Amino acid sequence: MFKISGEMTIYQAAGLMAELLAALEDCGGVLQIDLAEVTEFDSAGLQVLMLARRGALARGVELRLFAPSPAVVEVFGLLNVAAYFAGPTDVIAST
């Protein structure tokens, strides 16, 4: 499981994207991302997750988002993007 803690903002986006791309290569077909400890989430954080989804689809990897924090849920709700992550290869789960 790939765990993200703290901020997912423009200040961490480049580093997080590099880490997620590396995790996609080494995940064995399923990448689980734990978002429970994300304290701040902005459009750059959302872009990181969207790019991770595209990267997963391109590699045939199943992407699962787990336990989105209130900060993540708020942005997903404001921008109405939950459906983007709710396809056959993507799951938003509470546990």
The confidence score (pLDDT) of residue 92 equals: 57
- Joined together, the tokens standing for residue 92 give 């938003």
Angstrom distance (rounded) from CA 76 to CA 33? 16
Residue 18 pLDDT > 90, yes or no?
yes
What percent of the chain has pLDDT above 70? 91
Residues 6+ apart with CB under 8 A from 36: 66, 67, 68, 69
What is the residue whose two structure tokens read 């703290």? 6
Q: Which domain holds residue 37?
A: 2-93
Residue type, 27: C
pLDDT tier at 88, thresholds 50, 70, 90: very low
- Joined together, the tokens standing for residue 76 give 């997903």
Residue 93 pLDDT > 70, yes or no?
no
**CATH number for 76:** 3.30.750.24
Asked if residues 69 and 36 have their Cβ atoms less than 8 Å apart, the reply is yes
How many domains, in total, are found in the chain?
1
